[in-house]
Structure 1
C-alpha cells in the first residue's frame, strides 16, 4: 500500500498545474466552458490550452447527477519556445502530463503526451479516464520538435 501511495505522489509531482485563462457562460443556469493553460513539465517550450465543460450547481440539482462533469473537452498546444524533448516516455502509451478530477472519485480529465519520434512531433491527447467505463470523447494537438542541425 505504501508503494502505491508513493507512486501516486510521484506521478502528481511530475504533472503540470493549470492556470485558468478564460471562463465563458453558455446558458442561463450557469454552465460554463473553462479554458486553462499549462506548460508541459518535461518539455520546455510547449504550452497547452485545455477547454472543458463545467456544470453549474443549478444544473447538478436539476439533473440529479451531483458529483460529475461531462467528458467533453478540447486541447490545442503551441510552441512557446525551443522544443527539445528530454527525459520523456518514448513508448506508444505515452506519458501523463496533466490530470484533473471530473467527479468525486472515479473520473478524471487527462492529457497524455505521445512522442512520434520518426516524424519529430509531440502529440497531446486529452481524454476522460474512468474506472468502470471509458469515454470515446477526445481531442488531440501536435507540436513539432526542434531537430538537431
Structure 2
C-alpha cells in the first residue's frame, strides 16, 4: 500500500512539473463533494503583448482518483477565451498555417497534454487561439477556440508586419 501512495504522490508532482508556458491560476471552482475542481488559468502569449487567454480545465481530486482507479490522467475537457488587454504588440510569431504552441500542461503521466496554439489568419487579420488535448495513442477531438481580430485594434508588429499582412 505504501508503494501505491508513493507512486500517486510522484505522479501528482510530475503532473504539476510538466507545465510549460507562462500561466497563473486565477480561480478554482469546486464541482462536487469529492473535491474535483475546475481551474482557471490566465495564459500570456509570450510573443503577443496586449492579449491574455483564460483557460478552464478539469482537475481530478484524490478521492476521484481512488474511486476510478486511474491515478495518472485528467480529462481532456477545456474551455478557452482570449481578450485584448491593451495595445497589441506582436513579436516574432509563426505565420505558417499550423501556427505555434504557446502553452502546454501535462494531463497524464506520459500520454496526454493540454495545449494552447496560436495561428495567424492573414486573410482575416486575426489571431486564433486553439486549446486542445494531445494524446499519443488515440488523439482527441476535444477543443476550444478563441479569435482576436486585429483590424480596429492598435497593433504594432515589432519586426514589421509579415508579408501576408502587408
Category of TM-score, reference length = shorter chain: 0.7 to 0.9
Provide the residue aligned with 1:81 in structure 2.
86
Provide the residue aligned with 1:8 in structure 2.
none
Provide the residue aligned with 2:60 in structure 1.
55
Q: Does 1:30 align with 2:35?
A: yes
Aligned-pair CA distance for 1:58: 0.5
Between the aligned partners of 2:116 and 2:40, the Cα distance in structure 1 is 14
Provide the residue aligned with 2:119 in structure 1.
114
After TM superposition, which residue ranges in structure 1, 4 or more long, deviate above 3 angstroms? none
Aligned residue among 55, 60, 66 for 2:71: 66
Aligned residue among 69, 79, 101 for 2:106: 101
Contact 2:22 2:45 in 1 (8 A): no
Unaligned runs of 5+ in 1: 1-11
Compute the TM-score of the two structures, normalised by the length of structure 1: 0.86
Provide the residue aligned with 2:143 in structure 1.
138
Report how many aligned residue pairs link the two structures: 135
Unaligned runs of 5+ in 2: 1-17, 157-166
